[in-house]
Amino acid sequence: MFLSCAVVQVIAVSLVAESIAQAPIRPPDVMFVPTPQEVVEAMLKMAKVTAYDVVYDLGSGDGRIPITAAKEYGARGVGIDLDPRRIKEANDNAKAAGVSDKVTFLNQDLFTTDISDATVVTLYLLASLNLKLLPKLMRELKPGTRVVSHAFGIGDWKPERTIRVNGQSVYYWTIPERQR
């Protein structure tokens, strides 16, 4: 009896420890909803991704955008997500797709991670988060960096192109030259 109580206690403690280890540092600003694969393909095509690109997905979920960029175009991919379960899932998916050497997933806050290395940035967040992100995009990204967003615009920044894919909007911009 004593032994079974001790075993139950050990299991309970390890379950709690595991759930704490898997908990995000803070609640994500938007929940995980994956971009449908045909929309992912259209986003990467719209950005004209090549093997020379570094594709950052801000809020990368299961990693499908950086993984597809690496697998289909030979690009380097970086995904950032607050939720450690998404990071594990993305790393497992990268391994299954054979592109672990080309993609990196960071368990960080997209608002505080340095994204200046990107040549392409992809987003599937919310209109309010895109608006909050705009100063960071303008500050950190090099002129000419392509930005593609699924479903949401970025404040009053006018997209250069908009397409519809299976009923979903995709928007495209390039970072302008800095104002002197």
Ligand X SMILES: C[S@@+](CC[C@H](N)C(=O)[O-])C[C@H]1O[C@@H](n2cnc3c(N)ncnc32)[C@H](O)[C@@H]1O
**DSSP reduced 3-state for 148:** strand
Q: Is residue 53 at the binding interface for ligand X, with CB under 6 A as the rule?
A: no
* Shorter beta-carbon distance to ligand X: residue 8 or 33: 33
Out of 15, 30, 51, 127, name the contact with ligand X by CB under 6 A.
Answer: 30
H or E element that contains 56: strand 54-58
Query: At its nearest, how many Å lie between ligand X and the CB of residue 44?
Result: 12
Greatest CA separation for the chain: 77
* Shorter beta-carbon distance to ligand X: residue 53 or 57: 57
Q: Are 125 and 133 in contact (CB under 8 A)?
A: yes
140 burial via Cβ count (<10 Å: 0-12, 13-18, 19+): middle
Out of 67, 82, 94, 141, name the contact with ligand X by CB under 6 A.
Answer: 82
Q: Is residue 120 at the binding interface for ligand X, with CB under 6 A as the rule?
A: no
Q: Is residue 38 at the binding interface for ligand X, with CB under 6 A as the rule?
A: no
- The H-assigned helical ranges of 35-151 are 37-46, 64-73, 84-97, 127-140
State the residues that interact with ligand X by CB under 6 A: 28-30, 32-35, 57, 59-61, 64-65, 80-83, 86, 109-111, 124, 150
